[in-house]
Structure 1
Amino acid sequence: MKANNFIWTDLSTFDLKVSKEFYSKIFGWGYQQVDTDYHYAYKSKKEVSGLYLMPETFVNMGMPSFWMPYIQVTSVAATVSKAQAMGGKVELTESTGDFGSIALIRDPSGAGFTVYDGNQLNGRTLDEENTMVWNELYVSDEGLVLEFYTHLFDWTIEETENKRFLVYNSQGQNITAIQQVDNEIKGKHEYWSVFFKVADINATIAKALEFGGKLIYQDNHSALLADSFDAMFQITEK
């Protein structure tokens, strides 16, 4: 794995049993319990994501259920220091032996992401079905975040059209994008979205609706869904 790339995602949920059943139905995942509250989701024998019971601290803050992207870094401590110096907010930090360290950071717009400096997580793929294949940041003001991410991760950002910005890592690979979107379209929150590849968007939407999910919007290439606890995620055939 290379530093400053997206490598993992996990779901913070109010009910592990219900969420595990929902995603098993739409993605065919199996699960393995790692500790009391955390489970790995598997596609065959590959770990593709995590699910955990939302901590009481988050519940008391009124946080919704959410999918969180992880970015691998060389040093969580150094990344946290740099993020704070550029106006980011650190929600939590945690270190666990050989697993490595994590930190949940909010950028100056308020969008959250997790950084990780270990080598145990590797769930994003280029094009495997029922795995995370893409991540995208939706913000109402791109001016708040472009410089932040450029300096924090040594990313190169290229503007295309309609306030869409392609993001390249230090090897010149397009790994993500930033899209400025009006609140009327994206809602009031700024957020990183997680995309899972599926074989058939319409069939996946139908399954999600059958098992308590919601369709937020759909276009020619992707759809934004919410699960039974309103955690949003996107599906794509590309």
Structure 2
Amino acid sequence: MSEVSGNQPFGTPTWIDLGVPDLHRAKTFYSALFGWEYEEWSAASGPFTMCLLRGRRVAALRPALATDVEGESWWHVYLATDDCDVTAKRVGDAGGTLLQSSADVAGLGRMAVIEDPVGARFSLWQGGTFPGCELVNETCTLVRNDLATPDPEPARRFYAEVFGFTLDGNEDLPGFDFTFLRRPDGHEIGGVFGDPGAPASRWRTTFEVAGTDDLVARAIAAGGSAGTPTDTPYGRMADITDPFGTAFGVITRPSAGEAAG
């Protein structure tokens, strides 16, 4: 089900945001890609922009924060928790680093910023009045997040210890070091991709789209860049880079393509 009205189960990717140097340009680009509309908000950390699809919040754009990596840009993922403070302590016990202590955010929920043992950053989100993404797994919304890292084993141990994820191999991608991360109920929340060539460990966001080739053309026309679309066991995918150097993926899954047609 794509509509989300309550807090997601523990460890589920529940929200994404992106720090940008130019909010106006970012809004223009992502509107051209996904048809998003926008809603302006303010918080103690500064103004930010909610991204809306059919009036539902699906992501946010914001100025860069002190916890962002200087000179880099990527969609920042938030993992759900029902107790931010307790989970933050588990992060430390498992070898992670608390970059920003648990704090309330604009009356919406409670968050903490984390760096895992291989250097990838993410946040915890304890939903209050706001659970996170209100639409997922449909066209122009978040469909998955995966961690790419040159050092996958410590990452696998960390996320299993903190969130209770099980670790399953992927027979669909022979020759690749990819491990599914699954909640205790068996639901897949993402994966860990061991990539010896990765310059750093980063969570990577993928969006569902109705047509990958069309999206690539729109990204280029809007001032971004894109890789060549490729077919995979899961759908037709492409790498997109926005005007600020933010890399993310898009995918047209077979079922989504049939529904769109």
TM exceeding 0.5: yes
* Distance in 2 (alpha carbons) for counterparts of 1:16 and 1:210: 18
User: Do the aligned partners of 2:97 and 2:116 also contact (CA within 8 Å) in 1?
Assistant: yes
Deviation at residue 155 of structure 1 after TM alignment: 0.8
What SS does structure 2 have at the residue aligned with 1:123? coil
Deviation at residue 209 of structure 1 after TM alignment: 0.9
Which residue of 157, 173, 196 corresponds with 2:187?
173
* Distance in 2 (alpha carbons) for counterparts of 1:193 and 1:124: 20
Which residue of 46, 54, 63 corresponds with 1:44?
54
Indicate how the Cα distance of structure 1 residues 104 and 132 shifts in structure 2: closer, same or farther if over 3 A, else same.
Answer: same
- 1:230 matches 2:245: yes
Deviation at residue 50 of structure 1 after TM alignment: 0.6
CA RMSD in angstroms comes to: 1.8
Name the counterpart of 2:211. Answer: 200
Which residue of 156, 165, 171 corresponds with 2:166?
156
- 1:105 matches 2:105: no
Name the counterpart of 1:64. Answer: 72
Which contiguous aligned blocks of 4+ residues in structure 1 show a shift greater than 6 angstroms? none
* Distance in 2 (alpha carbons) for counterparts of 1:50 and 1:166: 27
Matches of residues 129-140 of structure 1 in structure 2 within 5 Å?
Answer: 129-140=139-150
User: Do the aligned partners of 2:57 and 2:134 also contact (CA within 8 Å) in 1?
Assistant: no
Indicate how the Cα distance of structure 1 residues 224 and 88 shifts in structure 2: closer, same or farther if over 3 A, else same.
Answer: same
Deviation at residue 128 of structure 1 after TM alignment: 0.9
- 1:24 matches 2:28: no
- 1:76 matches 2:84: yes
Deviation at residue 99 of structure 1 after TM alignment: 2.0
- 1:128 matches 2:138: yes
Deviation at residue 121 of structure 1 after TM alignment: 3.2
What is the TM-score of this pair, normalised by structure 2?
0.84
Which residue of 211, 215, 238 corresponds with 2:222?
211
Name the counterpart of 2:157. Answer: 147
Indicate how the Cα distance of structure 1 residues 216 and 121 shifts in structure 2: closer, same or farther if over 3 A, else same.
Answer: farther
What is the TM-score of this pair, normalised by structure 1?
0.91
Counterpart code for 1:195: T
Deviation at residue 65 of structure 1 after TM alignment: 2.5
Matches of residues 85-96 of structure 1 in structure 2 within 5 Å?
Answer: 85-93=93-101, 94-96=103-105
* Distance in 2 (alpha carbons) for counterparts of 1:190 and 1:157: 18
User: Do the aligned partners of 1:124 and 1:133 also contact (CA within 8 Å) in 2?
Assistant: no
Where structure 1 has 5 or more consecutive residues not aligned to the other structure, the ranges are none
* Distance in 2 (alpha carbons) for counterparts of 1:160 and 1:195: 18
User: Do the aligned partners of 1:26 and 1:207 also contact (CA within 8 Å) in 2?
Assistant: yes
Where structure 2 has 5 or more consecutive residues not aligned to the other structure, the ranges are 1-7, 254-261
* Distance in 2 (alpha carbons) for counterparts of 1:233 and 1:152: 26
User: Do the aligned partners of 2:57 and 2:135 also contact (CA within 8 Å) in 1?
Assistant: no
